[in-house]
Amino acid sequence: MEVNVKQIHGGWDLGYSLDKHTISSTPIGPNPWGHMQFDTIRPEVGEALFQLKYRSDFTQVKVIALKMFNSLSKYFLSANLIIPMPASRQRQRQPVTEIAQELSQLMNIPCYEGLLVKKNNTLPMKDIPNIDEKVQTLMDAFDINDELNDGLYDVLIVDDLYDTGSSLEAATKVLRQYGKFRNIYVATVTRKR
């Protein structure tokens, strides 16, 4: 699987994304219910993520995690724990959590899926026009469960998609308030820009 790794910038100390989310998306006409359909071309990792999230193909978890390990882990050698980004919508199985768990096994560091949690639902981010308002709304929705022993840690946040960066910014700000993190790193499967 070929990828086009790119550094992503924000309030975190270092971040990288494997590849673009889509290459192109062309409207091809409405379906029988009147909803526009698209011919979407994705890079390989974007297609793997699409199959995982929207076709429930959980065989893609290992494929994606292995590509993240092979392409990105060299940037995060000091990371000693992984946190999956809390899901924006409830599913029986959370794709990002499963990717983070698999990556933690490959990196041989623990995954704390209950450390950063979303304590309440928010409006869809597309309905909030201002980036600062998005970040504040998400910060208010996140909570930390104190699961770590005393000390300073280097944490790697794993997310599926980097778009505006508002969710990663909010998570980073909340984690910095926790006071147990020296460095906060970010790794995403895909990016929109």
Q: Which two tokens stand for residue 159?
A: 């997310």
Q: Is residue 31 part of a domain?
A: no
Residue 15 forms beta bridges with which residues?
186
Domain residues for the domain of 94 are 6-26+36-191
What pLDDT does 171 receive? 93
Q: What's the rounded Cα separation, in Å, for the pair 132 and 174?
A: 14
**pLDDT digit of tens for each residue in the chain (193 aa)?**
899 999 999 999 999 999 999 999 899 999 999 999 999 999 999 999 999 999 999 999 999 999 999 999 999 999 999 999 998 777 778 999 999 999 999 999 999 999 999 887 776 666 777 788 888 888 888 899 988 888 899 999 999 999 989 899 999 999 999 989 999 999 999 999 7
Q: Domain holding 169: CATH number?
A: 3.40.50
Number of domains present in the structure of the chain? 1
**Would residue 43 count as lying in a domain?**
yes
The phi, psi pair for 167, rounded to 5°, reads -70, -40
Q: The whole model's pTM is what?
A: 0.91
CB 1 within 8 A of CB 11: no
Tell me whether strands 14-20 and 6-7 are parallel, antiparallel or unpaired.
antiparallel
Nearest-angstrom CA–CA distance, 109 and 155: 10
In degrees to the nearest 10, what's the CA dihedral of 83, 95, 62, 108? 10
Is residue 1 a part of any domain in this protein?
Answer: no
